[in-house]
Structure formats: structure tokens, C-alpha cells
Amino acid sequence: MNYSISSLFRKTLLSLVTTILLILLCYFWADLTFAFWIDHENFKRFPIFNYATHFVDLIMIWSALYYFYFAWSFSKQRDPREKSWPGLIIANSVSISIFIKDALKAPFGRYWPSTWTNNNPSLIHDHAYGFHWFHQGVIYQSFPSGHTTVALAFLTALWLTYSNRYFRCLGLLVALSIIIGLLANNYHFLGDCVAGAWVGATTAYYIVVASRTFSYSSTRAKSQ
């Protein structure tokens, strides 16, 4: 993993441009067709898809509990700087990505694909489609997908901090289950999930880089 600022900037810019292009592709050619197809097939009749979206709740609960564990364990260490905290990296990735996705929802103000809360206007129910810039309220919070953001933040941080293939496969399975569940229930457009994936993955990547850079600097300072 290259930690240079210029390399990080290039990777971030390239991934952002690619993501924007994918979102535009989804918005003009895929989101409508896919949402109507999902509604026609009525995948929401299978409860398993809705259950899968609740993996996000487990991730968030685990992150909150980990902070308590970290506070207790940190106080017991003679020199806490010598201990690696991969779980903290994952918890921070999840927490910070939640803050970022919440900050992005109001500027974009996108309607949801279907009506599922407070009689919200939607594509399926009202043929309401599009972005409404800087509109606030739950009816305008489809973009980016918060569940996908959390799922990819968790997966990316887990993938970069643990080499155990079973952990990685479990993280991948959880993330895919969440995204498939969201789409199968028409909770989000495909483009919402693309945006959420970029926010979550990018946030986690930067947190991992920052953590490893800090760890390297601390180790180097101690050796001098």
C-alpha cells in the first residue's frame, strides 16, 4: 500500500471520477429500469432479503461495543502504543463513514425508489424521480445509501487489516448480503449503492493509511 500523498490523491481522484461516471450511467439508463423490474418481480416477498439489511445494525452495535472494550483494554496496557488495534480501525471506519454519508444526503436530496416511510414520494408509488439539491427531510435521503456505506467501510477496513481469508470471506458475504437486500426491497437505487460503496471504501482506506502511517512514525521515533 503506497502512503505518499500524491499517490493517495491520484487514486482518490481516479476512483471518484469512475464512481461519478457509474452513477450517471445508473441515473440515466439503469436506475429506473432496475427499480421497476425489482418491483415487478416482487422480491420483497422473500423475508430473507429484508433480514439481510439488518446486518448493518449488527455492525453498528459491534462498533459501539468495541469502543467500550478498547477503552477498558487501553487502560490496562503498560505501553498501549505497542499494541495493534485492528478492531479500532474497523470501528472508526464505520463511525466516520456514517458521519460522512449523513452530511452528503442533504446536498443531493434524492427521492427513494419506493414508498416505505411516512408516505414518502417515490418512483414506484408516485413516479417521483430525481435529485432535489439541498432539500432536507427523510423523503430526500436516498443518496448515498447509508447501509452500503457502512457495509463497504466495514469490509474494506476488515480486508486491509486482517489477512485471515475466513474473516475476509465473512466480511464480503455480509457486505454483499446487505447490498442485495437493499436492492431486492427497492430501498435504494443502484446508483445510491454505487455512491455509498465509494464513500465507505474510501473512508476506510484513508483511515487504514492514517493508522499505519502513525504506527510507523511512532515506531521510528522510539527506535531513534
- What DSSP string describes 10-53? HHHHHHHHHHHHHHHHIIIIIHHHHHHHHHHHTGGGSHHHHHHH
* Pure H helices in the chain: 5-25, 31-41, 47-53, 55-76, 86-108, 123-126, 146-161, 165-184, 190-223
- pLDDT tens-digit profile of 12-42? 999 999 999 999 999 999 999 999 999 999 9
Residue 104's alpha-carbon distances to 17, 118, 146, 172, in angstroms, are 17, 21, 10, 25
- Per-residue pLDDT at 120: 86
Task: Give the phi and the psi of residue 145 in degrees, each rounded to 5.
Answer: -70, 120
| CA separation for the pair 34, 22 (Å, rounded) | 14
Quick check: 221 pLDDT over 70? no
Where do we find the cell 454519508?
101
- Per-residue pLDDT at 218: 47
pTM above 0.75, yes or no: yes
- Per-residue pLDDT at 5: 75
Domain hosting 175: range is 5-223
Q: How confident is the model at residue 3 (pLDDT cuts 50, 70, 90)?
A: low
- Per-residue pLDDT at 219: 46
| CA separation for the pair 215, 172 (Å, rounded) | 27
State the total domains in the chain.
Answer: 1
- pLDDT tens-digit profile of 152-203? 999 999 999 999 999 999 999 999 999 999 999 999 999 999 999 999 999 9
- Per-residue pLDDT at 84: 60
Q: How confident is the model at residue 214 (pLDDT cuts 50, 70, 90)?
A: low
Where do we find the cell 437486500?
181
